[in-house]
Amino acid sequence: MAFTAQQAAVWCNGRVEGPADRTFDSMEAVEFANPQQLTFIGKAAFARQLSQSRAGGAICTEGLNVQRRDDQTLIWVADADLAVAQVLEHLAPSPPFPELGVDSTAFVESGAVLGADVRIGPQVVIASGARIGDRCVIMAQTFIGAAIIGEDCVLWPQVVVRDGCTLGRRVILQSGCVIGADGFGYRFAQGRHVKIPQIGGVVIEDDCEIGANACVDRGKFSNTIIGQGSKLDNLVQVGHNVQLGKHTILVSHVAIGGSVRAGDYLVMGGASVVADHITIGPGVKVAACAAVNSDVGPGEHVAGIPAKSGKRAILEWKAYCRLPEMAENLKSIEQRIAKLESSAKNHSS
């Protein structure tokens, strides 16, 4: 799709510097862009790269020291990262959704209720008791039990939503994710692990997106809850009875143990974990690969194993990195003390 710098500026509410009629055919990162592509500069660290880039133009955050060549056009915006999202909305191809209606190979039980203008793809199975909201898109080979799906949801291929689960409006479930699998509940008795039935459900509130092959387990008694606007990356595991606040971000490979309570705006880096029954306050940030095994207060930034204050973790890491040097210094000090003791002994004798 060809577009001009002026068109892109309208899409992202930007200000053009240079030829506004400059035409682009796509967007690309600054180091890979060619003269027919628009790039972006969102941070000062990348500002100097534009002069060496072949890009025909760039979306730039106001206030950055970006030098424009004569053959480049700049589009100045308040936030380049957000502006890129706005431009890409216009450039993205239409998703390969099924046609309106129910595919001939889909199986919809008689007790299921489908809303208006739904799109049900090939080999989808929708069980009796399911309620599918208006304008929902259910892609190929997805299974929906006796669950409630709100309006305008998109379920990509091979999603599973089991009985007793509820999705709000505009929820996106990426391929392979499983909502409502049994929580991991067992009791060891008489030499074996006895399975504890999990009779709760899952509630995913409005405007959430769950990544590919992520799993949200049903509760033991009450529901597991994913708060409004939350975004879970691929391969995330949320245990039974967890309650996540609004606008949570969980990056890939995060694992949250059962019965965790977390406030709004939690951010967890990749491969970080939370132990069972932990309480996390609002606005907390957990660094990648951290292990949270005790409660975390509001607004704290934690890192390390076990997780602690980010500043404390950095100090400990710096000290750890100095251990070889410290060992050499200690060895030198021990040798000097030994010489001094030997000299003192000789003088005393």
* Confidence check: pLDDT of 159 > 90: yes
Classify domain 3-91 at the CATH superfamily level: MurE/MurF, N-terminal domain (3.40.1390.10)
- Asked if 3-91 and 101-311 have one fold, the answer is no
* Domain residue extents for the chain: 3-91, 101-311, 319-349
Amino acid 260: pLDDT: 98
Residue-wise pLDDT for 85-129, tens only, equals 999 999 998 899 999 999 999 999 999 999 999 999 999 999 999
pLDDT band, very low/low/confident/very high, at 349 (cuts 50, 70, 90):
low
Region 164-183: what's the mean pLDDT?
98
Query: In this predicted structure, what is the pLDDT of residue 193?
Result: 97
- pLDDT in the model for residue 201: 97
Angstrom CA distances, 24 to 7, 77, 82, 85, 203, stand at 10, 18, 19, 16, 43
Average pLDDT over residues 142-167: 98
Mean pLDDT of all residues in 39-50: 92
Confidence of residue 345 (pLDDT cuts 50, 70, 90): confident
Q: Please say if the pLDDT value at position 341 is more than 90.
A: no
Name the residues annotated as catalytic. Answer: 240
Dump pLDDT digits (tens) for 310-320: 888 888 888 88
For residue 79, pLDDT over 90 is answered with yes
State the pLDDT at residue 181. Answer: 97
The pLDDT value recorded for residue 268 is 98
Q: The domain 101-311: what is its CATH number?
A: 2.160.10.10
Q: What is the mean pLDDT of the chain?
A: 95
